[in-house]
Structure 1
Amino acid sequence: MSTPLVRLFRRTGGRLTPVVIFFEILLVLAAVLITWFAVYVLYRLVNDES
């Protein structure tokens, strides 16, 4: 069993297309942004000085 990304990698001769790379980068950026926001919210909850 192979994932769609593995099948695409094999079908394109071992090369990832620029579109796939672009969306992989977007996925990583979204994950980093979500993680940063979650940590920031927790920080603000713990250090609330009001």
Structure 2
Amino acid sequence: MKPDEVPTRVAALVEERRRMERELAELRRQVAMGGGAKAEAATRPRTSPV
């Protein structure tokens, strides 16, 4: 990575982290309100049928 690309990359990582924190907070709210199965399915890794 070139030094002049660092600020752009850092900004992208910060935005991604904010997005992920919002998503996590939403999933926690769903679990707290009884939507646990739905929230668990959303976070469970998807596997392809064999």
TM-score normalised by the chain length of structure 2: 0.59
Q: Structure 2 unaligned segments of length 5 or more: list them.
A: 37-50
Deviations 1:20-47 (A, max 9, x none): 0000000000000100000000000001
Q: Over the residues paired in the alignment, what is the CA RMSD in angstroms?
A: 1.6
Q: What is the number of equivalent residue pairs in this alignment?
A: 33
Q: Structure 1 unaligned segments of length 5 or more: list them.
A: 1-16
Deviation at 1:48, TM superposition (A): 5.4
Q: For 1:19 and 1:43, how far apart are their aligned partners in 2? A: 36
Structure 1 stretches of at least 4 aligned residues deviating more than 4 Å after TM superposition: none
TM-score normalised by the chain length of structure 1: 0.59
Higher relative contact order by CA 8 Å / sep ≥ 6: 1 or 2? 2
Deviations 1:1-37 (A, max 9, x none): xxxxxxxxxxxxxxxx310000000000000010000
